Amino acid sequence: KGYYLASRDFEDAELRMLIDSVLFSRHISEAQGKRLVEKLEQQSNEYFRNSVSHVRTLPNLYHTANKQVLYVLDALNTAIGRHKKVQFTYNSYGTDFKLHPRKEEPYIVNPYQMVANNGFYYLIGNMDKYDNLIHFRIDRITDVDVLETRSRSMKELKGMEKGFNLPKHMAEHIYMFCGETVRVTIKTEISMMDNLVDWFGNSFTILNKDEKDNSMKISVNCNYNAMFYWALQFGMHAEVLSPDKLRKEISDALQKIAGKYST
């Protein structure tokens, strides 16, 4: 008398994770990625494409020990789509290698976007007592509930009056730290271009360059705390020239590090 599809091989949250890994794999061309994504979308229903409009990705995911991750992704996606607040427990690892709540009471967050960056999934949101965006590692979130309270508009936040530019936000928050964005001037090597593009995309400006000594100066908008750690990571090949406060903090940190290795 007829037929119907009783079940599907993949849950929507599983398909989202697969699509994310395909879209930003460095080993798959754009055309190949597009074909694979279309095939993956066919594994769900016609409403699936709209349901993943809030998920934006950068590189691949990693395997987490948090067994609730798929449920968390699904709940957050629902909350974002319905413009509702979420309540969850935010955790940190203890010396027993298990997740433990950071505080007794749950976090109540206005959720805006989910992104994958540097192998981790993040929720970009806001807490009512602050006027800036905050990043939460999704693999550290447990016990999530979608509340009936409408979430705060992102346009009420500082710097978001004209809307949210995700590529710009990700370029400025290379380590997903929260805090202020500053204009940084860096002296580096021309041979660092691959690394600079990997970290900052095309959102930095080359102020001058000298092919003879393989040097150049660049200017980039970046999260203050993120630039501190980036400068430590690439200190052999890059020198922060300004702002002065950041330069001094890097210098102090390097002296402390050198002290740990002195004999």
**First-residue to last-residue Cα distance in the chain:** 84
Contact 67, 126 (CB under 8 A): no
Contact 123, 136 (CB under 8 A): yes
59 pLDDT band, cuts 50/70/90, is very low
The model carries a pTM of 0.64
- The helix-helix angle for 244-261 and 224-233 (nearest 10°) equals 40
pLDDT tens digits along 64-75:
556 777 788 889
5 pLDDT band, cuts 50/70/90, is very low
Compute CA distances 142 → 66, 83, 90, whole Å.
Answer: 8, 20, 7
Distance in angstroms (rounded) separating the CA atoms of residues 110 and 136: 12
Position 25 scores a pLDDT of: 54
Position 4 scores a pLDDT of: 52
